[in-house]
Amino acid sequence: MAQRRHIVLAAAIVVTALAAPAWADQVSGTLTRTFVIVEDTDLVGDVVCNVGSNPCFSFGASNVELRLNGFSMTGTANAVTGCGGAIFANEFGITTNGQHNVYVRGPGLIQRFRNFGITVTGGSRGTRIQGLTASTNCGSGIRVTAAAFDTVVEGNRLTRNGASSVGAPCGGI
């Protein structure tokens, strides 16, 4: 009987070891090119995005999560005046890039991007954006395109967005 208990215990240890979660990517500091999210990713400090006319973060895989953890993502628009009437193509804070079941989780601040703070692009399904603040982005704080489906946007604060959307006013969502 003692031998049988030993075998069961060994099996339980193997199952526990295999079920351990993988480490998430950790990001902070200044980014000079788009960070492509291919696994769960945590901000571990504030991020300054100096990527030109490109997204700061772009999902490159489905079924992954970006957690802001109370930190901020800041683009290159002016803190007071925003964009001064110009929007820069593709300069988003975050794009879902057509991926499915991706999650952007706050708390955290997405600010001063010279286009949309977050854009949920065509073909994306099952996106969830929750608990963050988007402020002083030149386009909408959060933009969900017509070809994105099953998107949930809840518990967010959106302020001072869309000031540069001449001819196509937008703002919060």
List, for residues 15-47, the tens digit of each pLDDT value.
333 333 457 899 999 999 999 999 999 999 999
Q: Is residue 10 part of a domain?
A: no
pTM: 0.83
Residue 154 within a domain: yes
The stretch 86-98 carries a mean pLDDT of 91
What SS3 class is residue 11? helix
Based on the number of CB atoms within 10 Å of its own CB, is 112 exposed (0-12), middle (13-18) or buried (19 or more)? buried
How many domains is the chain partitioned into structurally?
A: 1
Average pLDDT taken over every residue of the chain:
85
With respect to residue 20, please indicate whether it lies within any of the assigned structural domains.
Answer: no
The pLDDT confidence band at residue 4, using thresholds 50, 70 and 90, is very low
Q: CA 164: distance to chain centroid?
A: 22
Q: 11 in a domain, yes or no?
A: no
Residue 63 resides in a domain: yes
Q: Is the pLDDT of residue 163 over 90?
A: no
**134 has a pLDDT exceeding 70:** yes
Two tokens, residue 30: 């200044």
pLDDT value of residue 169 = 60
Range of the domain at 66: 30-159
Quick one: what percent of the chain has pLDDT higher than 90?
Answer: 65
> Does residue 80 sit within a domain?
yes
| DSSP per-residue letters across 115-140 | S-SEEE-TT-BS-EEES-EEES-SS-
Phi (first) and psi of residue 3, to 5 degrees: -65, -40
What is the helix (H) or strand (E) element at residue 90, kind and residue range? none
Question: Is 49 within the bounds of a domain?
Answer: yes
What does DSSP say about strands 25-31 and 41-49: parallel, antiparallel, or unpaired? parallel
Taking 70 as the threshold, does the pLDDT of residue 69 lie above it? yes
pLDDT tops 60 at residue 115: yes
Tokens of 16: 């526990």
Is 99's pLDDT higher than 90? yes
Per-residue HEC secondary structure of 47-74 comes to EEECCCCCCCEEECCCCCEEECCCCEEE
Q: Could you tell me the pLDDT band of residue 127, with boundaries at 50, 70 and 90?
A: very high
Q: For 121-149, what is the mean pLDDT?
A: 93
Query: Is 9 part of any domain?
Result: no
Return the higher-pLDDT residue of 95 and 12.
95
Kind and range of the H or E run holding 21: none
